[in-house]
Copies of this chain bind each other. A is one copy, B any other.
Amino acid sequence: MNDLFKLCLHTITTKPLSFQEACQAYAKRGIRGITIWRDALEKLPTNDVREILKDNDLNLVSYCRGGFFAHTEEGKRKEAIADNKRIIEEAAEIEAPLIVLVCGAHPDQSPETSRKQIIEGIEEILPMAEYSDIKLAIEPLHPMYADDRSAINTLHQANTIAEQFNSDYLGVAIDVYHLWWDPDLKKEIYRCGKNNHLFAFHICDWLTPTKHLLLDRGLMGEGCIDIPQIREWVEDAGFDGFHEVEIFSERWWAEDQNAFLDKIVEAYKQHC
């Protein structure tokens, strides 16, 4: 049975709650970590954000999400880079130590082209991240998102890019949902651990059947992912950060979010 010291919630998980409601509801249950999704802030002044976090004794784990570097049009790629720089500024203002990168892909070009553009995008923003003391985590996404969300679909690819840049500020985010199926997962987790590139660990579950490619993630224990096994590898590899619950689910968003949060806490204790 897990205690709650390392439990972190992504605001998107309880999307129907406002930022303040979410913080209060997390704190009430003894949750100590929060990852803020950009749209959750709804133009809340920076001071208010910091104050709400402080009032609720919440550690800001990361800011979601940068990336989306790939596009067929050069103008759009430049816009994406400018937007990523704004995200770094925002993260600095709210004192987030880490930004998660969903790297991008475009259905009208090859994954190889998208991958080149992703590397160019990271090259453009990494110096500012380093200067701002904010880490960037490449999150490999499940291959079912290779058309328009990310051309980085395995931990092997993410590790290779992180090693290529060789910066203390560029690493990877491991999300069990995206990577559980990969026969090389254990090996690649140890690889990024050894290089101090393992920056974040996201949890949820894979449902059978999955009814929607994006919005039908399961609560831990509802699906087929052996989360304790992956957690063991991640911790053996040297990771001692938060376990971040990131669930996109129309089904759970339709429920009472306080009851859902109770279930998340219970599921975390039992199935992670």
> How many residues on the A side are at the interface (Cβ–Cβ under 8 A)?
30
Contact yes or no, B224 A108, CB < 8 A: yes
Q: Is A270 an interface residue (CB 8 A)?
A: no
Contact yes or no, B111 A183, CB < 8 A: yes
- CB neighbours of A110 from chain B (8 A): 226, 229
* Interface membership of chain A positions 103-133, coded 1 if the CB is closer than 8 angstroms to chain B and 0 otherwise: 0000110111001000000000000000000
* Interface membership of chain A positions 135-150, coded 1 if the CB is closer than 8 angstroms to chain B and 0 otherwise: 0000000111011100
- CB neighbours of A182 from chain B (8 A): 143
With A107-B224, A154-B183 as contacts: A144 and B144 at CB distance below 8 Å: yes
Q: Is A221 an interface residue (CB 8 A)?
A: no
Q: How many copies does the complex hold?
A: 2
Residues in A152-187 with C-beta less than 8 Å from chain B: 153-154, 157, 180-183
With A208-B107, A213-B210, A213-B213 as contacts: A224 and B147 at CB distance below 8 Å: yes
Residues in A92-112 with C-beta less than 8 Å from chain B: 107-108, 110-112
How many angstroms from the CA of A148 to the CA of B208 in the assembled complex? 7
Q: Is A206 an interface residue (CB 8 A)?
A: yes
- CB neighbours of A108 from chain B (8 A): 224
Q: Is A209 an interface residue (CB 8 A)?
A: yes
- CB neighbours of A181 from chain B (8 A): 111, 143, 146, 151, 153
Closest CB-CB distance, A141 to chain B, in whole Å? 10
- CB neighbours of A16 from chain B (8 A): none
How many angstroms from the CA of A107 to the CA of B224 in the assembled complex? 5
- CB neighbours of A180 from chain B (8 A): 111, 146
How many angstroms from the CA of A213 to the CA of B208 in the assembled complex? 11
Closest CB-CB distance, A40 to chain B, in whole Å? 24
Q: Is A238 an interface residue (CB 8 A)?
A: no
- CB neighbours of A30 from chain B (8 A): none
Q: Is A241 an interface residue (CB 8 A)?
A: no
How many angstroms from the CA of A151 to the CA of B180 in the assembled complex? 11
**Can you list 21 A-B contacts with CB-CB less than 8 angstroms, sorted by A residue number?**
A107-B224, A108-B224, A110-B229, A111-B181, A142-B143, A143-B144, A143-B182, A144-B144, A144-B210, A144-B213, A147-B206, A147-B208, A147-B210, A147-B223, A148-B209, A151-B181, A153-B183, A154-B183, A209-B213, A210-B213, A211-B213
- Extra 17 A-B pairs, beta carbons < 8 Å, given A142-B143, A143-B182, A147-B208: A108-B224, A110-B226, A111-B180, A115-B183, A143-B181, A144-B144, A144-B210, A146-B180, A146-B181, A147-B206, A147-B210, A148-B209, A151-B181, A153-B181, A209-B213, A210-B213, A213-B213
